Structure 1
Amino acid sequence: MRGGLGADGDPGFVVLDSRSTQAWEQGHVPGAVHLPTALIAEQAEQVLDRSVPVVTYCWGPGCNGATRAALALAERGFHVKEMLGGFEYWVREGSAYEPWQGDEQRPADPLTAPVGADDCGC
């Protein structure tokens, strides 16, 4: 494994955006699945594979949507974790994201990532 990916490039988990459609269209993690928390009870079985771990995220540390989504999935027997920092820190750390009009990436916020370094070293 290199960079957390299997030999076939599969990370071995699915990333789930639990925010609203409007938030999803504003921008989301590339490759994420969109399933708002309110729809998990009725749609999780059709959208997700129970044998694949799920990593939930929402807006950021001030939002508990990822926590509520993780609980709803865990109650349905899914193996689930949360992406700490959510979409806010994904973008603030300079990671690429997908808005409705195409790929974007912003420079890293120096309050979340060291300037001029490839990673934070932690």
Structure 2
Amino acid sequence: MSSTTSHFSLVTETPAASPEEAHRHFLAKLSVETDAADVRLDLQRGQDGFILIDARGAQDFEECHIPEAINLPYRKITAASTTHLTKEKLLVVYCWSPGCNAATKAAARLSALGFQVKEMLGGIEYWRREGGPVEGTLGEQAPLVR
């Protein structure tokens, strides 16, 4: 750290939201996001209130995916390709990593079709980093990201 003191703060240059505004923001954020640890714990506990969707391509899914996940590449999401999914359950979508936005694109398409959806932050990369099980032709030997 520098020993000089600045009279200007990059952190406080934009005023912080009020506690009420911040509360609304963070609740809204949690309404569309979840993380690998919460998904894993719910699956371990037998929770069945959501369906896990892998938004990556078919080959990537075949090589390595989270057990119980359904492959639905984001580019193929249409009303016709989702007829097998129920709108009674939350869909949780994931892709490769924080650097991948396929899950975000899938969530946008699915929500436009009337599904409730959350994005699993960190994707399969963070699922694996946190010790989550995977299956597929390459399983644990598959690359973390592409």
How would you bin the TM-score normalised by the shorter chain? 0.7 to 0.9
Q: Does 1:32 align with 2:69?
A: yes
CA 1:90 to 1:4, structure 2 compared with 1: closer, same or farther past 3 Å? closer
How many correspondences in the alignment? Answer: 99
Q: Does 1:99 align with 2:121?
A: no
**Cα drift, residue 4 of structure 1:** 3.6
**Cα drift, residue 93 of structure 1:** 1.2
**Cα drift, residue 25 of structure 1:** 1.3
* Separation (CA, whole Å) in 2 of partners of 1:4 and 1:94: 15
Match of residue 124, structure 2, among 81, 84, 87: 87
Q: Does 1:66 align with 2:103?
A: yes
Q: State the TM-score, normalized to the length of structure 1.
A: 0.73
Percent identity (aligned): 44
1:95 and 1:105 in contact (8 A); partners too: no
Q: Determine the structure 1 residue equivalent to 2:51.
A: 14
User: How big is the alpha-carbon RMSD for the aligned residues of Structure 1 and Structure 2?
Assistant: 1.9
Larger radius of gyration: 2
For structure 1, the residue ranges without an aligned partner over 5 or more in a row are 107-122
1:18 and 1:58 in contact (8 A); partners too: yes
Higher helix share: 2
1:94 and 1:105 in contact (8 A); partners too: no
Q: State the TM-score, normalized to the length of structure 2.
A: 0.62
**Cα drift, residue 63 of structure 1:** 0.4
After superposition, give the CA deviation of every residue in 1:15-44 in whole Å (9 maximum; x if it has no partner).
000100111012001100111111111301
- Higher RCO, 1 or 2 (CA under 8 Å, sep at least 6)? 2
SS at match of 1:55: strand
CA 1:63 to 1:26, structure 2 compared with 1: closer, same or farther past 3 Å? same
Q: Determine the structure 2 residue equivalent to 1:109.
A: none
The one-letter amino acid paired with 1:75 is A
